Chains A and B, each alone.
Chain A
Amino acid sequence: MAEGYWGNYWRRRVSRRRVLAGGTAVAAGTVGLVAVGCGDDDDDDAGDEDGPVATATSAPDATAAATEAPAATEAPAATEAPAGGPVRGGVFRDSSSDTDTGLDPHVTVTAHTAWHSSLAYSHLLHYKLSEDRAYGDLATGWEQPDNTNIIFNLRDGIRFAPMVANGRDITAEDVKFSYERFPHALENLGSEVNRLQWLFIDTVEAPDAKTAHFTLGAPYASAIPSMGSSAHAIVERGITEAAGNDLADVMNAGGGAYVMVTRNDGGVYRWERNPNYYKHIPAEGTFVEDGPYIDAKENITSSDEAALEARFLSGDADRAAFALDRFKADELEGVDGVVVYEAPGNTNSQFQMDAYKWAPHPELRRAVSLAIDREAYIDIVLAGEGIYGSPVGPGFPMVLSQEELRELQPYDPAEAKRLWDEFGGNEVFGGKLRTVTATFAPQPTVEFVSRQLEEALGITVEQTPADLANYVSLATEPSPKKWDFFMASESSLATIPDYNGLTFYVPTGYGMIFGGLDPSSEVPETAAYATESLERFNTQAAALDQEERYALLQEYQRWLITNHCCSLPLPVPSVTFLAYRERVRNLDVFDASLGNASEGFRRQQNIWLDPELT
């Protein structure tokens, strides 16, 4: 399945004419002139020469389920290294629009904390999404005597940074403390996120300084990938407790490859090499024997896109941290010292409903799904470079094929109208649907879907503008909510591979928080649907046999899509563009594009800077 997707991806090319047509339509859509159904997919030129500038090449071939330490596999090709090999030294200069949301590595949500967690903290494992494989970081290896026990052996010579507890050794007690702290790190805020990621672990024991014994509450196929997330940073107990169990303002409390030396000095964040960092012998994954090649990393923050672009173009930043689409990528392609990479997209996009209102009306849910022309969505909203969405992100091996997704999500406005009228859509919703527009869903997306529903169903869609703060308030209010649907999209959640987009569909995740998918709902249909969905989710999560699990996950996707409750997958971009300065060598393009903020180039230690180039 995965090979089909990646293979198709790399073979696929989109003609410039189609891209331009799509882009024009996007522009038109933003001024309210979106014309439903005007897309044309007849000219999908497979052999067009206007292809990507540079690409990574290898496909992931493993699964999320890991029951023993994996054997070495071939790493995906990174950017080409020049003769002479890696060079140590240099400062990687990033520039981003990140907002300082604190430095606690267990606050997992933002790119800002991901930066810090990836650099200043070490972890038990490093999960590489591109290879679907975990590498030992502090752990030299692990064994699973049965389905609910995992025993990690810690390597020798692992220490905290010099300013952290005088650089003492990191022991299994620290692993235990950190993993036990993680679910509670947001407790004073009543957070659900960490607890959900942690639920599968029952106890952590440290029988000796070098052994960490994890007991799972139930067999969990994605235990190892989940534990390899950068969110599971190993923190020092004394410093954490001295800070009142809040590391938001603590610059160093770990033993990562770097130590933070500057925090927000006029927007500049800087990390320098940790002299206490261990030797990773033998080198594996992105780990290098003597620690990372790059001496220091900087993140210069700016909230202005033009300033970010100017920094990158002038060589003051090594990574393009501004929005990159096909057109911008084409522009950058001609700039000296810049390398543009095209990689597969791995985004989820959902039409989220309030289950309280929609669960009792299966025909109306189906009418909504039939009213959305996904082909036109791809042509117009995604400028021709999109694929059908599924509850599982397109980068994961268990995702349904495009052919099947197309069949499962037909466009039939006449049938949609018939169902809507016959089953009293206007009576149920008063002739109008209300939505919330927020930064999570670009305006063209909301405009496009709203117009389609209006035209197909003969209703009015009322939009309530929202920013982050009132979006949260509106989206999470108890059901019945003030809105009937909203749209959300985000990159792959690499920290919890099973979950990924599924979180929007299940009662243990955003499906509950946003969609009111509550097994104890007072609405019997909502409760029944939520219960069945939860059972299916739990069944696949407990299936340790890879083939069985994939089959269950695929069946689960079919069930979710054909029930239309209470999220509908929307098409997602098929490509992602990245641009780096030429001097950045050995970049793992796959992880830089596939992984979310907690993975990718931030944790890649074998990336290096060519001193001959700018």
Chain B
Amino acid sequence: MQAYLIRRLLQIPIGIILLSIIVFTLTRVLPGDAGEARCGAAGNFSQECFEVARRELGLDKPKVEQYWIWLSDFVSGNPGYSSSLRADISTELWGRLSNTLQLGAMSMIMAIIIGVPIGVLSAIRAGKPEDYLARFIAILGLSVPNFWIATIVIILPATWWGTNLAPEWIKLADNPLGHFRVLALPAAIAALAAGAYIARIVRSSMLEMLHSDHVRTARAKGLFERAVVMRHVLRNSMLTLFTILGLQFSGVLAGNVIMEQIFSIPGMGAFLLKGISARDFNIVLSVSTIFAIWFMVITLVVDLMYSWVDPRIRY
């Protein structure tokens, strides 16, 4: 177990460096850079302007040196200067990361609350109307894009009742209740697809368990159906669910880029879009890398939890 853990932990920095090199290379291959974006925003389109801005932003240095400077800054906890913010990225980054994680956590909690009961119901009532209804809802949740639901949820109440469900952003420190109220709707919308996916996974996993030998034995022993389902079916289905939850949490973080944009939430996703549109490569690199770190850590945690959920698994 210890060796496995060390091996996995060592893989993380290697993965991060590889990914950041790829993102760095891609951002440099694209036409346009932060220097041009800065000059363009100022209405200046001269080559002289581009050159001055590039020099100020260090974009005239060799690419390897640029990457090394960024990596050193990132490792030191201050991922460099943002040309669009005209300040260090760290001034915004950590606050935004916190908002994104809160939104992601809320989405996941809601997705579990929605998905697990629907999946369980669908599995134990397989082939019955409740199952069809649950599956219909799950497919609907998966097939309708989040951004469309968000747009409809915002526009229709405003049109019909003059109610704005996308209020202005409230900081946690200013008003905790208001802060989470602002996050609740985008989290719920983001949870729909994730919940639908969880419901489908729980259903298929449980159906497999329901037909397994140990469940038949449990029933033969005369256990109540509730005990069979909760103790022998659901718990054994958790292995699959954990895998999915880990991936979903990472997916929700990335997917919330759109939610953050629509609901004006100052999170990592909105930050990433801002970085892309302003050709602010330090933002793009930093946010992508943090997402990658997050993904790797979550995957590791999920892997480690397997052995907790299923003691037969050994590393």
Query: Is B277 located at the chain interface by the 8 A CB criterion?
Result: yes
Does B41 sit at the interface, judged by CB under 8 A?
yes
- Is B151 a contact of A306 with CB atoms below 8 Å? yes
Query: A307, A469, A471: which contacts B262 (Cβ < 8 A)?
Result: A307
| Cβ–Cβ < 8 Å partners of B171 in chain A | 265-266
Give the chain B neighbours of A191 by CB distance below 8 A: 39, 42-44, 46, 49
A-side contacts of B36, CB under 8 Å:
469-470, 472-473
Q: A190 on the interface (CB 8 Å rule)?
A: yes
Of the candidates B42, B163, B263, B264, which one forms a contact with A189 in the assembled complex, judged by CB atoms under 8 Å apart?
Answer: B42
Let me know if A468 is at the binding interface, CB within 8 A: yes
Are the C-beta atoms of B170 and A193 separated by less than 8 Å? no
Q: Is the CB of B49 within 8 A of A190?
A: yes
Q: Which residue of A lies closest to B171 (CB)?
A: A266
Determine the residue in chain A with the shortest Cβ distance to B159. Answer: A313
Are A310 and B37 within 8 A (Cβ)? no
Bound Cα distance A207, B31 (Å): 51
Whole-angstrom CA separation of A247 from B266 in the bound complex: 24
Is the pair B159, A475 in contact by a Cβ cutoff of 8 Å? Answer: no
User: Could you give, for residues 252-279 of chain B, a 1 whenever the CB lies within 8 Å of some chain A CB and a 0 otherwise?
Assistant: 0000000001111010001001100111
From residue B87, how far is it (CB to closest CB) to chain A in Å?
8
Complex Cα gap A514–B150 (Å): 40
Q: Decide if A8 is an interface residue (CB 8 Å cutoff).
A: no
Question: Which of B53, B167, B274, B278 makes the CB contact (< 8 A) with A316?
Answer: B167
Q: Are A304 and B261 in contact (CB under 8 A)?
A: yes
Q: Give every chain B residue within 8 A of A301 (Cβ-Cβ).
A: 264
Smallest beta-carbon distance A247→chain B, Å: 12
Q: Is the CB–CB distance between B47 and A476 below 8 Å?
A: yes
Residues of B within 8 A of A102 (CB): 86
Contact of A474 among B31, B47, B159 (CB under 8 A): B31
Residue A203, interface by CB 8 Å: no
Task: Tell me if B32 and A473 are in contact (CB < 8 A).
Answer: yes
Tell me whether chain A's interface is mostly helix, strand or loop, or mixed. Answer: loop
Cβ proximity bits A104-117 to B, threshold 8 Å, 1 near / 0 not: 00011110000000
Contact of B43 among A193, A265, A314, A473 (CB under 8 A): A193
User: Among the listed B168, B261, B274, which residue makes an inter-chain contact with A266, where contact means beta carbons less than 8 Å apart?
Assistant: B168
Across the interface, which residues of A come within 8 angstroms of B31, CB to CB? 466, 469-470, 473-474
Is B218 engaged at the interface, CB distance under 8 Å to the other chain? no
Interface residue? A362 (CB, 8 A): no
Which of B44, B47, B277 neighbours the largest number of chain A CB atoms within 10 Å of its CB?
B44
* Contact mask for chain B residues 137-154; partner A; CB cutoff 8 A; 1 contact, 0 none: 000000000000011001
A107, A192, A307, A336: which has the most chain B beta carbons within 10 Å?
A307
Q: Is B135 engaged at the interface, CB distance under 8 Å to the other chain?
A: no
Contact check, A267 vs B159: say whether CB atoms are below 8 A apart: no
- Judge whether B19 is part of the interface by a CB distance below 8 angstroms: no
Chain B 38-63 per-residue mask, 1 if CB under 8 angstroms from chain A, else 0:
11111111111110110010000000
A249 at the B interface (CB under 8 A): yes
Q: Does A302 contact B (CB under 8 A)?
A: yes
A188 within 8 A of B: yes
Which residues of chain B (289-305) have a CB below 8 Å from chain A? Answer: none
B244 proximal to A (CB < 8 A)? no
B278 → A minimal CB distance (Å): 7
Is there an interface contact between A101 and B44, defined as CB atoms closer than 8 Å?
Answer: no
Beta-carbon nearest neighbor of B169 in chain A: A266
Contact of B164 among A304, A316, A466, A476 (CB under 8 A): A316
Q: Is the CB of B131 closer than 8 A to any CB of chain A?
A: no
Q: B86 near A514 (CB under 8 angstroms)?
A: no
Interface membership of A2, Cβ < 8 A = no
The reply to whether A468 and B40 form a contact with Cβ atoms under 8 Å apart is yes
B9 sits at the interface (CB 8 A) = no
Collect the chain B residues with CB atoms within 8 Å of residue A307's CB.
Answer: 154, 166, 262-264
Q: Is the CB of A267 within 8 A of B158?
A: no
Question: Are A190 and B44 in contact (CB-based, < 8 A)?
Answer: yes
> Are A467 and B49 also in contact (CB < 8 A) when A190-B44, A307-B264 are?
no
Q: A102-B86, A309-B158, A470-B31 are in contact. Are A267 and B264 (CB under 8 A)?
A: yes
A residues in contact with B264, CB < 8 Å:
266-267, 300-304, 307
Q: Size of chain A's interface in residues, with CB distance under 8 A?
A: 53
| Contacting pair B150 A472 (CB below 8 A) | no
Q: How far is the CA of A281 from the CA of B276 in the complex (A)?
A: 50
Nearest residue in A to B278 (C-beta to C-beta)?
A: A469
* Cβ-defined partner of B49 (8 Å) among A189, A314, A466, A475: A189
Contacts of B47 in A (CB 8 A): 476-478
In whole angstroms, how far apart are the Cα atoms of A118 and B255 in the complex?
Answer: 38
Q: Is B155 an interface residue (CB 8 A)?
A: yes
Q: Check: A248 CB closer than 8 A to any chain B CB.
A: yes
A189 contacts which chain B residues (CB < 8 A)? Answer: 38-39, 42, 44, 49, 52-53
Instruction: Indicate whether A268 reaches chain B with its CB closer than 8 angstroms.
Output: yes
The reply on A51 being an interface residue by CB < 8 A is no
Q: Is the CB of A472 within 8 A of B39?
A: yes
Instruction: Annotate B8-36 by CB proximity to A: 1 below 8 A, 0 otherwise.
Output: 00000000000000000000001111101
CB pair B168 A468 closer than 8 Å: no
In the complex, whether A513 has a CB less than 8 A from a CB of chain B is yes
Supposing A191-B49, A192-B44 touch, asked if A314 and B168 sit within 8 A by C-beta, the answer is no
Q: Are A267 and B266 in contact (CB under 8 A)?
A: yes
The answer to whether the Cβ of A315 comes within 8 Å of any Cβ in the partner chain is yes
Contact (Cβ within 8 A) A304 B158: no
Out of B33, B39, B164, which one reaches A314, CB within 8 Å?
B164
CB distance A109 to B42 under 8 Å?
Answer: yes
Is A273 part of the contact surface with B, judged by Cβ < 8 Å?
no
Shortest beta-carbon distance from B176 to chain A in Å: 14
B236 to chain A, nearest CB (A): 43
- Whole-angstrom distance from the CB of A114 to the nearest CB of chain B? 12
- Rounded to whole Å, the gap between the CB of B99 and the closest CB of chain A is 10
Nearest 7 interchain pairs by C-beta: A266-B169, A469-B32, A470-B32, A314-B164, A109-B43, A470-B31, A472-B40
Interface residues of B (CB under 8 A from A): 30-34, 36-50, 52-53, 56, 86, 150-151, 154-155, 157-159, 162-171, 261-264, 266, 270, 273-274, 277-279
Could you list some 7 contacts between A and B, CB below 8 A? Answer: A190-B46, A267-B169, A303-B261, A306-B166, A314-B164, A336-B162, A473-B36
Supplied contacts A186-B42, A190-B52, A467-B32, 18 more A-B pairs, CB within 8 Å: A189-B39, A189-B42, A191-B39, A191-B46, A266-B170, A267-B168, A267-B264, A268-B169, A303-B264, A304-B263, A309-B154, A311-B166, A313-B164, A466-B31, A468-B32, A469-B36, A470-B36, A472-B40
